[in-house]
Homo-oligomer: A and B are copies of this chain.
Amino acid sequence: MKVLSLAFPGFTFIDLAGPLQAFSMLEGFESQIVWKATGEVASDAGVSVNATQTFETAWSDPDILFIPGNTKALFSLLSDDETLRFVADRGARAKWVTSACNGSLLLGAAGLLDGYKAASYWYTHDSLAQLGAIPTSERVVIDRNRVTGGGMTAGIDFGLTLLGLIDGEQKGKLGELLFEYAPEPPFACGRPELADEQTVAIARQILATLMPLEAIPTPGRRNRIG
């Protein structure tokens, strides 16, 4: 079970962690972390990981292609032809094409979500439509072989769901128990509709500077790349 995960400079650390932790329980799990060069790739959380492969050496036929998200770092990739070509190529041959958070924007920009239902981070949810996808407000969205998770921590729900889909429900349940995944959000405000107005306003103000929705490629540009 060849899991190919993209790690770009500035990626959101927990977007990668939840899914990989679940995937690591897959029967025959093997992992490659890919970027333009091998070696250190900084995350957004004060810790770096290591790319083991480049776009040239990564598996050509992964079982799972996985894309994490971020704010500015993810947005800069939406118009990066080299990355879009790589994602489009591996996505065309992967058994499962997947993402957490707004990593789905990169799948969409690479032309991999045309006509597919998909999840995204709450702030970027509507923008998925601009990239050909059908934005779907669920924490994990499965449409044929596209499996996408919502924002950041949704990667755990997404990873365990895919573990259960591939290796069977018993494995998914085992993963959830081994991970002690009985969450208790301390503030009970993890979605805009659950949070108070002030918290939502502060969040939107921060995200507006970090996620320039107007920079999301137009369909014309997307089709040229895809």
Using a CB–CB distance below 8 Å, which chain A residues touch chain B? 3, 5, 7, 12-14, 16-18, 20-21, 23-24, 29-31, 33, 40, 44-50, 101, 121-122, 139-140, 150-154, 156-157, 160-161, 164, 169-170, 172-174, 176-192, 194-196, 198-200, 202-203, 206-207
Contact = CB atoms under 8 A, between A and B. Distances in A.
Contact of A183 (B46, B157, B178): B157
9 contacts: A20-B46, A49-B49, A150-B180, A157-B184, A164-B187, A176-B186, A177-B191, A177-B195, A177-B200
A188 B190 CA distance: 18
Number of copies: 2
B46 A48 contact: no
B45 A21 contact: yes
Contacts of A182: 139, 185, 190-191, 194
Contacts of A160: 185-187
A154 B161 CA distance: 19
A47 B192 contact: no
B179 A151 contact: yes
Contacts of A139: 182-184
Contact of A17 (B14, B154, B188): B14
A196 B184 CA distance: 21
A162 B29 CA distance: 34
A181 B153 contact: yes
A151 B173 contact: no
A37 to B, nearest CB: 15
A184 B44 CA distance: 25
B206 A186 contact: no
